[in-house]
């Protein structure tokens, strides 16, 4: 383990890394049920998509572990699966095979862009203060997701409002938040994981934690495996769908890598992420393999920050998460019995941990602080990491031009800005 993942060099241990991997897995295990449910609405087989989701997550995360040696986990992305099912299939009227083909082509394009260092250049083009704001924005975003999962924050007349905190789910999450908070205050190692387990057990009398049920054998992939439709590859609709997949996935992944790497303190003095090319290749391979298996776009998960918060620093964290995804194929009823209210406290507190880079943002220069602020506030409000980066980058470019600081803008930043404008035009 030491030779493979360089644990001493990263000042960590096997115990810390495995615990971090388990924590990451538990905070993102919801995707094992949510992704099949969403793609089922597009007409895909639930059981087959469950197996495809699990295998694609395991494969992509293993690539991250061994190729990049980074503590990040991957799985089919939320938002991207909703676009797949509700926009492309149900909205535009195309078959799920058409949408799956677009995902496959996206993965191939990403592999090519990564090999030629284009995606790495995009990561480096993002200004330092916006990189710090991305971490903070992701923190707010993931905390917001936690509050929603718990039912503490709900939709209402004012778009969002306080839910019924006396209800079983919300009250259970609040109890879990107190337990986890106390553990953190006493600096207990594995506080997030212990909090998740304790809240799951307390959830039994609340009726939130259900007994494991259903088959313990992995469902067949046959209904969705290699089900592509290449007959409309050269149509305008395919181009629009493909561009949207490419755009959202690219900047969601870039944002997550920057944000979680900042929190893990593995970004170097020049603001670069170690082995970023390999990390980007992991999600490109994951997306391509995932499409073949029969699931939507695979991306780096923001919930990886939960494992990082537990001390995860190397690929051993990712490896541990990947192993648990494989185990989940055979123990799915057990893992799926963990309620959202049990993982919500971990997500909320990870939001706190992700806030720390805010103190390093340069607030004295408004051409830096305004874009940084817009980046971090738009992410949770628009429910999109990519939208936050888009607004932040465009405002940064505009403010630099309008204040005569054009020399601060490099060619790659301009290209990224043009891509964002295209995205706004295409919609």
The DSSP symbol for 407 reads G
Query: Is the pLDDT reported for residue 236 higher than 70?
Result: yes
The DSSP symbol for 219 reads P
Query: Is the pLDDT reported for residue 151 higher than 70?
Result: yes
- In degrees, rounded to 5, the angle at the alpha carbon of residue 216 between the alpha carbons of residues 76 and 148 is 40
pLDDT tens for 5-20 read 988 888 889 999 999 9
pLDDT tens for 58-82 read 999 999 999 999 999 999 987 788 7
Band (pLDDT 50/70/90 cuts) for residue 316 is very high
Report, in this order, helix, strand and coil percent for the chain, each rounded to 5.
70, 5, 25
pLDDT tens for 162-174 read 999 988 899 999 9
- In degrees, rounded to 5, the angle at the alpha carbon of residue 122 between the alpha carbons of residues 118 and 126 is 165
Tell me, what's the pLDDT at 275? 86
Band (pLDDT 50/70/90 cuts) for residue 427 is low
3-state class of 355 per DSSP? Answer: coil
Band (pLDDT 50/70/90 cuts) for residue 327 is very high
Output the 3-class SS for 23-69: HHHHHHCCHHHHHHHHHHCCCCCHHHHHHHHHHHHHHHHHHHHHHHC
Query: What's the chain's average pLDDT?
Result: 88
Tell me, what's the pLDDT at 1? 79
Tell me, what's the pLDDT at 215? 78
Report the alpha-carbon distance of residue 318 to residue 254 in Å, rounded: 18
Mean pLDDT over 187-198 rounds to 84
Name which residue leads in pLDDT, 254 or 285.
Answer: 285
φ and ψ of 154, to 5 deg: -130, 170
Band (pLDDT 50/70/90 cuts) for residue 57 is very high
Residues near 407 by beta carbon (within 8 Å), at least 6 away in sequence? none
pLDDT tens for 250-277 read 777 787 788 788 877 777 777 778 888 8
Report the alpha-carbon distance of residue 382 to residue 280 in Å, rounded: 24
pLDDT tens for 393-410 read 999 999 999 999 999 998
Tell me, what's the pLDDT at 84? 86
Report the alpha-carbon distance of residue 329 to residue 190 in Å, rounded: 25
Share of residues in the chain with pLDDT > 70 (%): 99
């Amino acid at each position: 383990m030491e030779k493979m993942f360089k644990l001493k060099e990263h000042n960590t241990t096997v115990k810390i890394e495995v615990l971090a991997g388990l924590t990451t897995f538990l905070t993102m295990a919801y995707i094992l049920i949510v992704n099949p449910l969403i793609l089922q609405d597009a007409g895909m087989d639930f059981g087959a998509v469950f197996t495809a989701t699990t295998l694609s997550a395991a494969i992509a995360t293993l690539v991250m572990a061994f190729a990049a040696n980074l503590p990040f986990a991957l799985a089919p992305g939320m938002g991207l699966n909703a676009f797949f099912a509700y926009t492309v299939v149900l909205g535009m009227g195309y078959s799920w095979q058409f949408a799956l083909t677009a995902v496959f082509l996206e993965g191939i394009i990403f592999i090519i862009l990564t090999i030629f260092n284009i995606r790495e250049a995009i990561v480096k083009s993002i200004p330092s203060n916006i990189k710090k704001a991305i971490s903070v924005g992701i923190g707010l975003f993931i905390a917001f997701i936690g509050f929603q999962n718990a039912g503490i924050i709900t939709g209402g007349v004012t778009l969002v409002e306080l839910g019924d905190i006396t209800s079983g789910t919300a009250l259970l999450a609040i109890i879990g938040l107190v337990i986890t908070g106390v553990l953190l205050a006493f600096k207990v190692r594995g506080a997030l994981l212990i909090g998740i387990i304790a809240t799951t057990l307390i959830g039994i009398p609340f009726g939130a934690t259900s007994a494991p049920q259903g088959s313990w054998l992995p469902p067949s992939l046959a209904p969705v495996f290699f089900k592509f439709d290449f007959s409309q590859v050269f149509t305008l609709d395919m181009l629009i769908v493909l561009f949207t997949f490419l755009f959202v996935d690219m900047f969601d992944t870039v944002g997550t890598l920057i944000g979680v790497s900042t929190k893990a303190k593995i970004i170097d003095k020049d603001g670069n992420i170690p082995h970023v090319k390999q990390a980007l290749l992991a999600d490109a391979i994951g997306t391509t393999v995932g499409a073949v298996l029969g699931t939507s776009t695979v991306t780096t998960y923001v919930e990886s920050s939960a494992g990082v918060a537990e001390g995860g620093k190397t690929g051993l964290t990712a490896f541990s998460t990947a192993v648990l995804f494989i185990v989940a194929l055979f123990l799915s009823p057990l893992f799926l019995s963990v309620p959202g209210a049990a993982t919500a406290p971990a997500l909320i507190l990870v939001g706190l941990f992700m806030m720390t880079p805010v103190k390093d943002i340069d607030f004295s220069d408004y051409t830096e602080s305004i874009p940084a602020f817009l980046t971090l506030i738009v992410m949770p409000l628009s429910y999109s990491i990519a939208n936050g980066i888009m607004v932040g980058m465009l405002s940064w470019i505009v403010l630099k031009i309008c204040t005569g600081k054009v020399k601060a803008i490099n060619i790659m930043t301009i290209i990224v800005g043009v891509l964002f404008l295209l995205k706004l035009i295409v919609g």
